[in-house]
Every structure is written in C-alpha cells, then in structure tokens.
Amino acid sequence: MTTNIWLLISSGFISGILAGLLGIGGGTVIVPLLVALGVSPLQSVATSSLTILITSISGTIQNWRLGYLDIKRVISLGLPAIITAQLGVLLANLLPSYFVLLGFGILLITNIYLLNLRRQLISSESYGNKKTISPSIARLITGSIGGILAGLFGVGGGVVMVPLQLLLLGENIKLAIQTSLGVVVITAISALLGHALSGNVVVNVGLILGVGGLLGTQVGTRLLPKIPDDQIVLIFRGFLMVLSVYIFFQAWQSYQNYKI
C-alpha cells in the first residue's frame, strides 16, 4: 500500500507539471494509471476529476499571482462547459469503454491536425484579412467540447481547448494554455459533481493524487513563461502523438476483452 501511495503521489506530480505546462488537466496520465492499479474505468474517470480539480486550482492560482490569467476569457469558455460536462458524465455511464477510448484517440489525432492547420494559416499572407467565425460562437464551441471531454474521459478538456483557441480565436499558445487551465477548474467541478452523485468517485485515491498535483502545477506554471512558443507547440504535438498511440492500444485491448 505504501508503494501505491508514493506511486500515486509521483503520478499526481507528473500530471500537475503537464497541467501547468500544457494547460491540460492531467487526466491523460491519471486515468491509465488507475486502471493499471485495478480501479474500474468508470471510477478511474470519476476519480481523475477530483485530482484534476485540485491541480487545476493550484495552477490557476499560480497563473493569477504571476499576472497570466484573464478571468473574462476563462468565464466565457467555462460557462458552456458546466452544462456539457454533465452530458459527458451521462455518456461515460452508457457507452462501452472501447468505444470511448477509440473516440478519444481519434480526437487526439484531430488536434495534431488542428495545430498544423493553425500554423499554415498564420504563414498565409491573406490570413489576417479573412473573416473567421464569431468569437462568441468560437468560445461556445470550444468550452462545450471541453466540458464533454471532462465528463466523458476524466480529462480537464484542455487537450482540445488549447488547439481550438489557437485555430478559432487566434490566440497564442501560452495564452491558450493559461486560459485553458482556468477553464479546467470549471469543467472539473461540473464533472466531479456529476460523477459523485453517481457514486463513482474513489475519494481517498483522488486526494492522494491531488497532493502530488499541487506540487507539480507549481513547477509547470513557472516553466511555461520561460520556454519559447515553438518549443511549447512541439512538446504539445509530441505529447498528443504518443498519447494517441497508447489510447488506440488500450481501445483494442478493451474491445478484445469486451468480446470475451
């Protein structure tokens, strides 16, 4: 049990660094770990929401202290996410795990494409003269998708909110990450409440992971302003690629077990 506690704290620490550095909730690390430790997929998703809430609050407070947090941007993305997170919780309770994992893997690959598309648009001379989607609609779409992901996959939603902010809102990578982390606080609260009402949260495990996450986010948020934008994009893209391969493998294993 002692080994598991230190493993949980270490994993929470890593997820916290990812939260502060990439603007994601860290559930992409936590959910697979909990499944490997014998926690059911549904409970892993639900418990991840508790840990994400702790780490994202820590990172957001740190961004606010450093002057890197725009509250208005966070609220505009977070409001639609409150509602759609409950839809994600409902889907998590209804869909087979292999279907959810497959959808998540496809989503990750799509985000890599969105990042590349954004860079192509920036390099285009006519990009600044083109009319894009309304900012209000763009924020509604971005926040709504982030909320669904929070409830469905146990992630904060930042894994998709960051690329969508770059593409639809024209924000730079660091601003998108800092805003995303603030929105993750809102999505995590909504998803956690939904899962808690369904009795899916393993509270003690989530709190232990959260302790490591508190420390990790302090490291990640301090590193972010010091790293060049191009390197952040490269890290984010590489993380999505590695994670998508792992998720597809997990989806295949889940499908094989489902057939038995």
Q: What is the pLDDT of residues 145-199, one digit of tens each?
A: 888 888 887 776 677 788 888 888 888 878 888 898 899 889 889 889 988 998 8
Residue 56 sits at φ, ψ, to 5 deg, of -70, -35
- What's the pTM value of the predicted model, to 2 decimals? 0.74
User: Comparing 126 with 26, which gets the higher pLDDT?
Assistant: 26
Q: 125: pLDDT confidence band, cut at 50, 70 and 90?
A: very low
User: Structural domain boundaries of the chain?
Assistant: 2-259
> Nearest to residue 233, comparing CAs of 148, 186, 138, 167?
167
Average pLDDT rounded to a whole number, residues 122-139: 64
Instruction: Specify whether the CB–CB gap between 89 and 191 falls below 8 A.
Output: yes
Q: Percent of the chain having pLDDT more than 70? A: 88
Query: CB count, 10 Å around CB of 246?
Result: 15
Contacts of 147 (CB under 8 A, 6+ apart): 80, 81, 82, 83, 84, 85, 87, 88, 157, 187, 190, 191
DSSP string, 8-67: HHHHHHHHHHHHHHHS--SHHHHHHHHHHTT--HHHHHHHHHHHHHHHHHHHHHHHHHTT
Average pLDDT, the chain: 81
Q: What is the pLDDT of residues 43-82, one digit of tens each?
A: 888 898 898 888 888 888 888 988 888 899 999 999 998 9
| Largest separation between any pair of C-alpha atoms in the chain | 60
Return the SS3 of 131. coil
Average pLDDT rounded to a whole number, residues 75-99: 88
Q: What is the pLDDT of residues 191-227, one digit of tens each?
A: 899 889 988 899 999 999 988 888 888 888 888 888 8
pLDDT at 131: 47
Q: How far is CA 8 from the centre of its chain?
A: 19
